[in-house]
Amino acid sequence: MTDCLFCKIVAGEIPSQTVFEDDDFFAFRDISPKADTHLLLIPKKHIVNLDDLQPEDEALMGKMMLTVPKLAKQENLEGYRTITNTGAKGGQEVFHMHFHILGGSKLPGF
Ligand code: 5GP
Ligand code: ZN
């Protein structure tokens, strides 16, 4: 999608601090970190959010979940929090699905 911030980041049209990339996913540091380590993991495919998922995305989402601990290990996180906001009322501001991965010093209770 041409008018999507995160699609532009995947395409390299907007710079990011990339930490991981493979055929299906891209991960980079959040521009406004809410923890010592704050990554955003996104599918390269433009999916708006969890509500936008289709049955054919099942394997992709499984792979996305398996990518989370891989990134946490790469960042030497002993523990971490994974969040995805869905819809404006769920706090979503960028409408390309992303998992926030937060860690570093101990996170406050949720
Ligand atoms: P949301 O509120 O949609 O769940 O999260 C969007 C996240 O994207 C926010 O944490 C925000 O700081 C981050 N963000 C917004 N614009 C940019 C950008 O241009 N680059 C990077 N690296 N992160 C961004
Ligand atoms: Zn997009």
12 to each of 5, 16, 34, 41, 70, how far by Cα in Å? 11, 8, 24, 15, 23
Predicted ipTM of the assembly: 0.99
Ligand 1 within 6 A of CB of 86:
no
Q: Where do the structural domains in the chain lie, given as residue ranges?
A: 5-103
Q: Over its length of 110 residues, how does the chain's per-residue pLDDT go in tens digits?
A: 679 999 999 999 999 999 999 999 999 999 999 999 999 999 999 999 999 999 999 999 999 999 999 999 999 999 999 999 999 999 999 999 999 999 998 999 98
What are the start-end ranges of the H helices in 38-78? 58-74
Ligand 1 within 6 A of CB of 30:
yes
- Class at the top of the CATH hierarchy for domain 5-103: alpha beta
Q: How far apart are the CA of 78 and the centre of ligand 1, in A?
A: 24
The whole-number pLDDT of residue 2 equals 76
Atom number, ligand 1, closest to the C-alpha of residue 84: 4
